[in-house]
Structure 1
Amino acid sequence: GMLQEAEQKKIPLNTQLEKLGKWIGIGVIFLCAVVFIATYLKGGNFLETALFSIALAVAAVPEGLPAIATISFALGVQKMAKKHALIRKLPSVETLGSTTVICTDKTGTLTMNEMTVRKIYCPSEIIDVGGIGYSGEGSFSSKPNGIEMLLKAGMLCNNAALQGQTAIGDPTEAALIVSAMKSGLRREDIEKEFPRTNEIPFSSERKMMTTLHRDGKSTTAFSKGSPETILQKCTKTLYRGRIRPLTRVEKNEIMKINESFAKDALRVLAFAFKPVTQKDSAEKEMIFIGLQAMIDPPRMEAREALLKCEDAGIRVVMITGDQLLTAEAIAREIGIKGKAVSGEELEKMNEKELLSASKEVNIYARVSPEHKLRIITALKKAGNIVAMTGDGINDAPALKKADIGIAVGSGTDVAKEASDMVLVNDNFATIVGAVEEGRAIYDNIRKFSAFLLSCNLAEVLIVFIAVMLGMPLPFIAIQILWINLVTDSFPALAMGVDSAGKGIMKKKPRNPKEHIVSGSVAASIIALAIIVTAITLLVYSRFESKTLAFTLLVALELLVPAIIRIGYRAYSLNIWLAGACLLSFALQLAVIYTPLSKVFDTVAPGLQEWGIIAASCIALLVTGIAAEVLIRKSKERAAA
């Protein structure tokens, strides 16, 4: 039911690019028709003029855009896989770049997921436990009567196992085995003495689990769960080895101790037992044994990643099954600020209250999968693009509902199926890395769109203006097609694998409704097209040499990628791009200096011509870079 409510998503960018191509196509056909009519009326040969106009139309339409975009996505996905993020659905690469909120589980993602019991409460006494990890070495500050029963309960009501020093199963349960081992208990002996006969499994609704064991001729039930759940089911307590009634005052006392543990970022479990005759009565009127509290140390990288998110204008929301105080303590330690809300408080809110709460709450505790779905829905309603992590079967609906569902590698297959991305190493820092990569890919697509569109626009403008001014056509049909083939394809592909520009994670997330050719991109396309057109036409009107105009335009277009990259603060050398431009230029030299020149109707340019080309290139670099910097500055001012 919950899964059906969450719907499918499609690649918005490619539809944008296809639409863009369509509009450009219409505009270009119109201009080419004008060029054809004007040239023909001036007495041009019908067939030649028609051929030229068609060639111009073919050259001017950026048919490669969606294809290169898809290649960029695919290469980006490969890059992310090397950094432990597996993208399952291509559109999510683009969405990652505009993420405004990351909802993350605490355990394993923000923390190490290596539990160690630090404190134990045996009625009337708090005991410190030494040692870290799963080694089984460590001592107790004291061993009151009754601690053995508590440790036994932790070891028996348990489905994890230890292999050497690695936990198999739930790390929380592994920590309980280790704490019992520290007092000299051996699992094999205890399981022989109390063989398990039945189990009432844990669920996030029940918040407890119970196992039944044969104890000589009778049966004993052992339970563990959240302190509030277990205490509700207890009527007696094991006090220094004797069973006696559990008073209201003692219950409050135990909850106070639970709170003090939780404030130290410890995760607290309560334990109880009961001699039983049948399974149905196992969880009623139990005997309270004590508490075990464990720490799950935060990941060091999580802190840095959180700072990066803050710079990048991304909110991080922590969602956890832990109790409120534990959640707040860990959030403080890692650096998540904001209000905290528990599942109970969430239950009482209606949609409207949750919507306003979701704007300031960054910590949700004791959360069930249904709550996750409600939190995501509220955040999306507030206009956020939400990425969300999950691991359990029950997380699937929330993962589907999120703009980007992120399954952790250690999670269930169901969660992975519902997700857009899988974190192989469960690490929060990996998500932030993926967001950065998503932003870089989107920038790259913008870069080569600006490159292709400004060059294509320049080609059409040069011809159109020349015809309007009554000059002879600056190129022949085959030259126009060649420019399109040589200068456009290789450099555009190489721009698709460009590295991220400086400060890419210092910008706010982009608005997903914003068009790929937004204001600043359009400004840059128009500015560069006008500069290239002006330089080419000035030179052509002075020297009226077709070969010069042809080679000059190729040279100028090969400089455009470098200028565009400066607008994105991408100052590092892109080897692929440099190689692509050199290759294109070498091909151009082949056309003018080898027998191919007959086909292309070119004459080998002399020194003077090369001097003019060099001067023109310098003029383009100076004016182009100035234009890019101005556009970037005004964009940054508008953003601020």
Structure 2
Amino acid sequence: MLRVETGLTAPEVAERIAAGQVNDVPARSSRSVGEIVRANLFTRINAIVGVLLIMILAVGPIQDALFGGVIIANTLIGVIQELRAKRTLDRLAIVGAARPIVRRDGYAVEVDAAEIVLDDLVELGAGDKIVVDGVVAEAEHLEVDESLLTGEADPVVKRPGDPVLSGSFVVSGAGSFTTTKVGREAYAARLAEEASRFTLVDSQLRNGINTILRVVTWMIIPTGLALVASQLMVNRDDLPEAVRRMVGGLVPMVPEGLVLLTSMAFAVGVIRLGRRNTLVQELPAIEGLARVSVVALDKTGTLTDTKMAVAELRRLGADAPVEAVLGVLAAADERPNPSMRAIAAAYPEQPQWTVGERTPFSSARRWSGAVLTAPDGGTATWRLGAPDVLLPVGHEALAGADAYGTRGLRVLLLTRDEAPVALVVLAQRLRADAPDTLRYFAEQGVAVKVISGDNPVSVGAVAKALDLPGADRPVDARTLPDDRAQLAAAVEAGTVFGRVGPQQKRDIVAALQSRGHTVAMTGDGVNDVLALKDADIGVAMGAGSPATRAVAQIVLLDNSFAALPSVVTEGRRVIGNIERVANLFLTKTVYSVLLAVIVVLSQVPYPFLPRHLTLIGSLTIGIPAFFLALAPNAERARAGFVGRVLRFAVPAGVLAAAATITSYLSARGIYDGNLEAETSAATLTLFLVALWALAIIARPYTWWRVLLVTTMGGAFAVVLVVPFLQEFFQLELVGGRAPGLAVAIAAAAGLLLELVTRLARPAPPRTR
């Protein structure tokens, strides 16, 4: 491309920076420190518990205000973990960010997108993302895809004077544009900032938890009001005691740690993946990849290394300066793809040749070319591209190309004035980590589809070398039906697809989704952008084009396909563990609401003080949930999160409430007014049932899970036998009859819970 513009001078750039005419769009990777603190501190749950804390502090004693310390600890943990995740994200975002090339003082300079100023001259090449608005200054076969903004799939040819918008990307050709709007004024800048922010939006897991919290809120409000009135009436002669009992009933209804542990589990996942150079641009991507049922792979850069080498040059009979022409074509390409870089490395530049009109490579055409004038004055049109595109069906040269393809080699055809001249054979090296990664997906029941723009024979040979099932039946995508239903059936049946165009990749993703699949798409080239955008999870290579990195939810910064299993593992850990802890928190809410209802109807003092439920909640939910939420978990993600949680939490909560109130009323008959002894018996029963529920949730057992459950039980036993702790928590088991009855009732409830859990467990799938 002939440069006709020199760009801004250094003083002009400084002048615009001083005037604030710079592309100062905020970093998109995470919230600010202030936003993180506010989001974790000023929550609805903290507000509710804060009011209850003030009420307890007004009547005392301090032991009943322990639940306030739990909220403070939860808030601090949430802030610290998100700040750690923020640092990880910001560091990785800088590594993975696009760096446009601007022309200043006549020189091409690579800068951060935030350093672009008004009137800068920005160079463009295939795969470049347009980061600010502008007007085209130079164009050489420049084609821009604006589908991410307009929905129009066909690339738009741009000529000098035409506008370009931020959010679009270059499909083919080269050029430059002068910036007209920067920063927040640029088209789609605000949308891009919001769309790529680290967020929990569209998370199935978070949506399920929000559904549960809405139901809990509606349960708490009427129950809490009735409990307030009941305790004020029952304890009318002792207002402080009425307040303590009332707060004791309200605090455990609030699942205060559930949202925290969900966010923390995701944040820890981000940090762990960050250590593997994996940038998670949207938080639900961790969860989403764990739900994936199909992974669609591009061959080059995923299964094979991006670096290639010329393995052979086969002349097709015509006498032509093939080596010289290849050197000229490679040198003339300002943005060479891996194939052209391999040719440039094999054949030197020929300065004595003259390059006329050029046609840059595009995935849709599958060839590039130029009009070249030789040193002797002879002029011809040369093309380099896919043999089966440049030659008619049945041409004898195609048989030779297919023969190379069966060996997994990439073959390009060089033509002169549409006559075949030579086959350029390129060797591709398989990625060392590809076999293990494919084997992992096979073991996990995730189907793999290879969709590539290369010759289907060559793609099939590469897949076959990796032992991918179905690789021996590659499909030429040009033969796929246009009808969506027929296309879906064909894609479902096939494994390897070659000669797939950019729009076809998009159609294949949509076809798989129409069959109920959750689809992850990997890619690194501009021809993958549309499919990456439409896939449920888009995964881009760090060395890929800026456009692919911009639309993907996950970026593998070290270009290692082997990192995907780590992302799947993190997603499964998050989903499986949050489901475990949600069972515990919802069980507590259910038994708390039911106890309050029964107390209101029975017109008896609430059986617990806040300190009792803080102790039970900490030992059977809070502390264990912290460890369970961060533990390894390889269980495959399943739909129906809310239903499964309720199937455990409701019967567990009902049994816990029934056992506790039975023990409490029995103790009232035994102790006849000794409220501390009655409370102690009820506390023992509720703790044992809750500990039994924890033991069920902790399965399958490992040494540390057994240790966790037994440690929690041992801690409660210490409280019951140490005089200071007995007095602090106001717990004392008097005699043997009521405590023995409390243990027997708890054991009966635990056995019933075991039975209900087994009956509610889904039956294993039938084998044919």
TM-score range, shorter chain: 0.7 to 0.9
- Given that residues 367 and 384 in structure 2 are in contact (C-alpha distance below 8 angstroms), is that contact kept between their aligned partners in structure 1? yes
Q: Choose from 423, 448, 458 the match for 1:291.
A: 423
Determine the C-alpha separation between the residues in 2 that align with 1:194 and 1:561: 78
Shift in Å, 1:624? 8.6
Q: Does the residue aligned with 1:437 lie in a helix, a strand or coil?
A: helix
Determine the C-alpha separation between the residues in 1 that align with 2:575 and 2:284: 11
Q: Which moved more, 1:586-595 or 1:358-367?
A: 586-595
Letter in 2 for 1:634: P
Q: Do residues 378 (structure 1) and 508 (structure 2) align? A: no
Shift in Å, 1:447? 0.7
- Given that residues 301 and 524 in structure 2 are in contact (C-alpha distance below 8 angstroms), is that contact kept between their aligned partners in structure 1? no
Q: Do residues 311 (structure 1) and 443 (structure 2) align? A: yes
Counterpart of 2:359 in structure 1 is 200
Letter in 1 for 2:588: C
Letter in 1 for 2:251: V
Counterpart of 1:97 in structure 2 is 290
Q: Does the residue aligned with 1:374 lie in a helix, a strand or coil?
A: helix
Shift in Å, 1:295? 3.3
TM-aligned CA distance change 1:579 to 1:633, over 3 Å: closer
Determine the C-alpha separation between the residues in 1 that align with 2:460 and 2:745: 60
Q: Choose from 594, 598, 604 the match for 2:724.
A: 594
TM-score norm. by structure 1 comes to 0.74
Shift in Å, 1:491? 2.9
Counterpart of 1:364 in structure 2 is 497
Counterpart of 1:341 in structure 2 is 475
Determine the C-alpha separation between the residues in 1 that align with 2:538 and 2:710: 37
Q: Do residues 21 (structure 1) and 213 (structure 2) align? A: yes
Counterpart of 2:303 in structure 1 is 110
- Equivalent positions of 1:227-238 (< 5 A) are 227-231=387-391
Q: Choose from 400, 403, 412 the match for 2:536.
A: 403
Determine the C-alpha separation between the residues in 2 that align with 1:217 and 1:583: 93
Determine the C-alpha separation between the residues in 1 that align with 2:295 and 2:148: 21
Deviations along 1:76-111, one digit per CA (max 9) or x if unpaired, are 122222334321101222222221221111112122
- Given that residues 118 and 293 in structure 1 are in contact (C-alpha distance below 8 angstroms), is that contact kept between their aligned partners in structure 2? yes
Determine the C-alpha separation between the residues in 2 that align with 1:621 and 1:368: 62
Q: Do residues 524 (structure 1) and 648 (structure 2) align? A: yes
Deviations along 1:209-236, one digit per CA (max 9) or x if unpaired, are 225556435265653211133446xxxx
TM-aligned CA distance change 1:151 to 1:570, over 3 Å: farther
TM-aligned CA distance change 1:588 to 1:26, over 3 Å: farther
Determine the C-alpha separation between the residues in 1 that align with 2:427 and 2:703: 44
Determine the C-alpha separation between the residues in 1 that align with 2:513 and 2:733: 61
Determine the C-alpha separation between the residues in 2 that align with 1:351 and 1:75: 41
Counterpart of 1:209 in structure 2 is 368
Letter in 2 for 1:82: R
- Given that residues 490 and 581 in structure 1 are in contact (C-alpha distance below 8 angstroms), is that contact kept between their aligned partners in structure 2? no
Counterpart of 2:270 in structure 1 is 77
TM-aligned CA distance change 1:371 to 1:160, over 3 Å: same
Letter in 1 for 2:147: M
Determine the C-alpha separation between the residues in 2 that align with 1:436 and 1:44: 56
Counterpart of 1:435 in structure 2 is 568
Counterpart of 2:453 in structure 1 is 321
Determine the C-alpha separation between the residues in 2 that align with 1:258 and 1:452: 63
Shift in Å, 1:555? 6.3
TM-aligned CA distance change 1:254 to 1:585, over 3 Å: same
Q: Choose from 260, 272, 297 the match for 1:67.
A: 260
Letter in 2 for 1:333: A
TM-aligned CA distance change 1:466 to 1:159, over 3 Å: farther
Q: Do residues 260 (structure 1) and 384 (structure 2) align? A: no
- Equivalent positions of 1:53-64 (< 5 A) are 53-64=246-257
TM-aligned CA distance change 1:293 to 1:97, over 3 Å: same
Letter in 2 for 1:571: T
Counterpart of 1:3 in structure 2 is 148
Counterpart of 2:591 in structure 1 is 458
Determine the C-alpha separation between the residues in 2 that align with 1:443 and 1:24: 22
Determine the C-alpha separation between the residues in 1 that align with 2:307 and 2:737: 71
Q: Which has the higher contact order (CA 8 A, sep 6+)?
A: 1
Shift in Å, 1:497? 0.9
Shift in Å, 1:368? 1.7
Shift in Å, 1:321? 0.7
- Given that residues 733 and 739 in structure 2 are in contact (C-alpha distance below 8 angstroms), is that contact kept between their aligned partners in structure 1? no
Determine the C-alpha separation between the residues in 2 that align with 1:456 and 1:18: 15
Shift in Å, 1:611? 9.6
TM-aligned CA distance change 1:595 to 1:481, over 3 Å: closer
Q: Choose from 704, 717, 725 the match for 1:573.
A: 704
TM-score norm. by structure 2 comes to 0.63
Counterpart of 1:150 in structure 2 is 322
Structure 1: stretches of 5+ with no match in the other structure: 125-144, 162-167, 233-247, 274-284
Letter in 1 for 2:513: K
- Given that residues 526 and 547 in structure 2 are in contact (C-alpha distance below 8 angstroms), is that contact kept between their aligned partners in structure 1? yes
Shift in Å, 1:620? 9.0
Counterpart of 2:384 in structure 1 is 224
TM-aligned CA distance change 1:611 to 1:157, over 3 Å: farther
TM-aligned CA distance change 1:5 to 1:77, over 3 Å: farther
- Equivalent positions of 1:509-548 (< 5 A) are 510-511=638-639, 514=640, 516-519=641-644, 521-530=645-654, 532-533=656-657, 536=660, 540=664, 541=666, 544-548=677-681
Determine the C-alpha separation between the residues in 1 that align with 2:741 and 2:356: 89
Determine the C-alpha separation between the residues in 2 that align with 1:428 and 1:607: 65
TM-aligned CA distance change 1:289 to 1:454, over 3 Å: same
Shift in Å, 1:449? 0.3
TM-aligned CA distance change 1:551 to 1:592, over 3 Å: farther
Shift in Å, 1:320? 0.3
Determine the C-alpha separation between the residues in 2 that align with 1:591 and 1:457: 30
TM-aligned CA distance change 1:212 to 1:382, over 3 Å: same
Q: Do residues 475 (structure 1) and 668 (structure 2) align? A: no
Shift in Å, 1:46? 7.7
Letter in 1 for 2:293: T
TM-aligned CA distance change 1:160 to 1:74, over 3 Å: farther
- Given that residues 684 and 739 in structure 2 are in contact (C-alpha distance below 8 angstroms), is that contact kept between their aligned partners in structure 1? no
Determine the C-alpha separation between the residues in 1 that align with 2:586 and 2:337: 55
Counterpart of 1:139 in structure 2 is none
Counterpart of 2:180 in structure 1 is none
Q: Does the residue aligned with 1:422 lie in a helix, a strand or coil?
A: strand
TM-aligned CA distance change 1:37 to 1:154, over 3 Å: same
- Given that residues 111 and 298 in structure 1 are in contact (C-alpha distance below 8 angstroms), is that contact kept between their aligned partners in structure 2? yes
Counterpart of 1:130 in structure 2 is none
Counterpart of 2:338 in structure 1 is 171
Shift in Å, 1:617? 12
TM-aligned CA distance change 1:524 to 1:603, over 3 Å: closer
Letter in 1 for 2:387: P
Q: Which moved more, 1:254-263 or 1:74-83?
A: 74-83
- Give the number of equivalent residue pairs: 562
Determine the C-alpha separation between the residues in 2 that align with 1:149 and 1:629: 78
Determine the C-alpha separation between the residues in 2 that align with 1:639 and 1:531: 35
TM-aligned CA distance change 1:29 to 1:592, over 3 Å: farther
